[in-house]
Amino acid sequence: QPVQHLADYRPWPFTLSQTRLDVTLAPRDTVVLTELDLEPSDQPVDLVLDGGAGLRLQSLRIDGLTVDPAHVLRDDETLTIRAAALPRVPFTLATDVRIDPQDNTAFEGLYLSGGIFCTQCEAEGFRHITFYPDRPDVMTTFRVTLRSDLPVLLSNGNPVRAQDGVAEWNDPWPKPAYLFALVAGDLVAVSDSFTTRSGRAVDLNVWVRPGDQDRAGFAMESLIASMRWDEDVYGREYDLDVFNIVAVDDFNMGAMENKGLNIFNSKLVLASPDTATDGDYERIEAVIAHEYFHNWTGNRITCRDWFQLCLKEGLTVFRDQQFTSDLRSAAVKRIEDVQTLRARQFREDQGPLAHPPRPDRYEEINNFYTATVYEKGAEVIGMLKRLVGDDGYARALDLYFDRHDGDAATIEDWLKVFEDATGRDLAQFKRWYTDAGTPVLTLQETWQDGTLTLHFTQQTPPTPGQPDKPARVIPIAVGLIGPNGDEVAPTRVLEMTEDRQSFSFEGLGARPVASVLRGCSAPVMLQRQMDDATRAFLLAHDTDPFARWEAGRELALSALTQLARGADAGDDYITAIGALAGDADADPAFRALCLNLPGEEEIATRLATTGTTPDPDAIQQARAGLARRIAMAHQDLLAELYDTMTVPGAYSPDADAAARRSLRIAALGLLGRIDGGDRAEVLFGIAGNMTERMAALAVLLRLGRGDSALRMLHDEFADNRLVMDKWFGIQVMAAPPSDAVAVAERLAARPDFDWKNPNRFRALLGGLAANHAGFHAADGSGYAFTADWLMRMDAVNPQIAARMSTAFETWPRYDAARRDHARNALERIASLAGLSRNTREMVSRMIA
């Protein structure tokens, strides 16, 4: 398959009015009978169906008659029936195909996960099940018959009948093949029901393995909250009689929004206080919501082609972010989202894998399920909402659902809806979708006669294939804080449209401090000359919680980058952070976010973007040293927080309880720098929840005294895959950097390193990648270890190998010796015989 180009889009020259599937499940030789009701267009053209060499075709009939083999062509990816063999009137094409789910280790199409048959069809998995026009703009109704002795047989839509090993499902909503799903297994359900606001009763089920029911309740609560929220906030109702969620252990992604039958990675469904952290609970709630919200933004309105992936993903991430903000703390959620954006999307934008939210070329679409498509896609919608206002946004969304229900739509359609609903011209705004790269916004200020003027320039560095970057429209939210700490001008959104532009605030008595890019009003990097005292002032007084946190962040990064360069710094930060941590009026979660120092990766990024080659060891030492100084300076306060930020009563994952725990463990982490790990040792033994136990374990591992805690955890949870994933991951992540590769090697040699399971593989390899100085070990051992495993994984599961190869995406910014090691590792991967298209594309972009 050559490079795909957006410009080459052509509608499919047939009409498909119904798909009927009859599947007899077996580990080997599953029988897939498919009937497609097709209508040809006016011109006679060949019928080209997707479907590769893995499909064993037993028969091919048109209206009951076998198609003359002379008119049939097959290659590795398609089956073609010549126009000469096709009727000029509506006809039914019937195929009989055999496949082997048991041998499907790529987890794409139909596969077995621990005795459960399940599917993953996005983006192009359906073509591994049967021959089909496997493209999102071909939408049709599905009728599915499943045959198996397994007790639970599920597919999309509404159940028609189920008895004697046969189940029939009917999905009345036209959908593309990527939203198809089937599940068969020995499963049990946690069940509930929901009545939509127009009175439709919906049966809800969360299907898990027998024994896991007591860990599925939170997923169900989250589903009900999501259904209610989408009605209240977007006016969107559910549209079938049943909504099923199934948890499986082997899953390439987090979860999948198949119509009426969401399939989830079990780590995003199963939770109990003793096995899941507060972060896990929050993530489960968000992903359940995300997949549910796709029912409208993704399923009822889907994408015309895969270049438009951010149409559904950016919008659905934006919606799940709004949902979490409404249920929990909006300020904390915004800070967490920006941290993720910077750690993953800014990182992507600054390296060889940079691409726009709507790319215009790809080789393998699975490589574009990225932070840029998802997280930046959501940021772009946040900007749009800021520019047109809340009312304009609501009108545009109503119009979007009205106009495009049932469509396979494009980014152009999406923007047109906003233009029509608000009268605004979005031609310049569209660059956010088509141009890669993070704009750098610089700010200079002048003050004269009671007028403060902000002089901005914007400039976006070149990215692969896009040397020139015209100016974008950037919404810059600004407020002013007076010298006494009061807000003298509330938030106002400045719209920057030129390369350089100035904005004035007049009639001011005394010079205020500008609080700029409030709420992170645009996904840009702000460069601004500001002394540490002014930053500390904003950290103390800014009325916008994001900007307040950001002031502390900048203060920390300023200290850490100086320390990493060998200078002396940090006193201002230590003083300011103590005041904030002790501010009993501030939300404990906010205080915890401020107390957590920027990670080593973020420090490396800051150094690289300001012209210094990052030295991973120096960064690690700078950060550890500053943490120790904070602990020394605020020992009593931190000990008090640790002792008092407990949560009485039974564990609850709600925002307030989680906030207190987050501040408590932030204090624990700092105290661990000076108490030798004694508190952590005690806490690990007595804590009744996984949040505190994992935090304690991380402290112990960093100090090299985690062995007995690891043994305890292992003895308790050896049979729990999700806890064991954490057990593998944290040992590598929290290892002293000089040991990290050795720890990873030792763990990889264990019999329970079930590396073909994506979660287990990600735990170990992702754990190493997250250990910045360990992965970037000067001798290249971290790179070599990772490359060896990526090559091994590529032959088994190309999607996972390709995804994890992004560990290398920052390699060009390190020193020459590390660059040599990294390039060698990447070239070794590139030269592997039989390398998948997935990994080949990633590696070749990284060494281009």
| Interacting residue ranges for ligand DPP, rule: CB under 6 A | 122, 253, 255-257, 290-291, 294, 313
What is the Cα–Cα distance from 648 to 627, expressed in whole angstroms?
29
The entry of ligand DPP, Zn ion, none near residue 122 (CB within 5 to 8 angstroms by kind) is: ligand DPP
Find which of ligand DPP, Zn ion, none residue 304 binds, CB within 5 to 8 Å per kind: none
Nearer to Zn ion by C-beta: 313 or 348?
313
CB of 286 vs Zn ion, minimal distance in Å: 11
Name which of 635, 630, 629, 696 is nearest 661 in CA terms. 696
In terms of Cβ atoms closer than 10 Å to its own Cβ (0-12, 13-18, 19+), residue 382 is: buried
Residue for token pair 């119009």: 399
CA–CA gap between residue 419 and residue 661 (Å, rounded)? 45
Q: Of 28-67, which residues contact Zn ion (CB under 5 A)?
A: none
Q: Which residue has the tokens 């200078």?
A: 567
Q: Closer CB to ligand DPP, residue 310 or residue 331?
A: 310
Residue 142: which of 32, 35, 13 has the closest Cα?
35
Annotated catalytic sites, by residue? 291
Minimum distance, C-beta of residue 265 to ligand DPP, in the bound complex (Å)? 10
Residues contacting residue 463 through CB under 8 Å, at least 6 positions apart: 349, 354, 355, 436, 437
Q: Nearest distance from residue 294's CB to Zn ion, in Å?
A: 6
Shortest reach from residue 290's CB to ligand DPP, in Å:
6
With CB under 5 to 8 Å by kind, the binding choice for 554 among ligand DPP, Zn ion, none is: none
Name the minimum Å distance from CB 388 to Zn ion: 24
Q: Smaller CB distance to ligand DPP: residue 314 or 614?
A: 314
Nearer to ligand DPP, 257 or 280 (CB): 257
Q: Cβ of residue 293: shortest distance to ligand DPP, in angstroms?
A: 9
Residue 313 Cβ vs ligand DPP, minimum distance, rounded to whole Å: 5
- Closest residue to ligand DPP: CB criterion: 256
Q: Which of Zn ion, ligand DPP, none sits in contact with 256, Cβ below 5 to 8 A by type?
A: ligand DPP
Of Zn ion, ligand DPP, none, which one does residue 606 interact with (CB within 5 to 8 Å by kind)? none
Cα dihedral 674→676→679→682 (10° resolution) = 180
Q: Give the x/- contact pattern for Zn ion in 296-315, rule: CB under 5 A.
A: -----------------x--
**How many other CB atoms sit within 10 Å of the CB of residue 726?**
25
CB 148 within 8 A of CB 165: yes
- Spatial contact of 729 and 763, defined as CB atoms under 8 Å apart: yes
Q: Per residue in 484-516, is it b (16+ CB within 10 Å) or e — as a string?
A: eeebbbebebbebeeeebebebeebeeebbbbb
Q: What are phi and psi of 463, to 5 degrees?
A: -130, 165
Q: What angle do CA 584, 590, 596 make, to 5 degrees?
A: 110
- The sign of the dihedral angle between the CA atoms of 443, 447, 448, 451 is positive
State which residue, 368 or 753, has the beta carbon closest to Zn ion.
Answer: 368
| CB of 122 or CB of 280, closer to ligand DPP | 122
Residue 255 binds which one of Zn ion, ligand DPP, none, with CB within 5 to 8 A depending on kind?
Answer: ligand DPP
Indicate which of ligand DPP, Zn ion, none lies near residue 657 (CB less than 5 to 8 Å, by partner kind).
none
**Closer CB to ligand DPP, 315 or 698, in the complex:** 315
* Cβ neighbour number for residue 623 with a 10 Å cutoff: 23
Q: Could you tell me which residues are beta bridge partners of residue 255?
A: 264
Interacting residues toward Zn ion by CB under 5 A: 313, 316
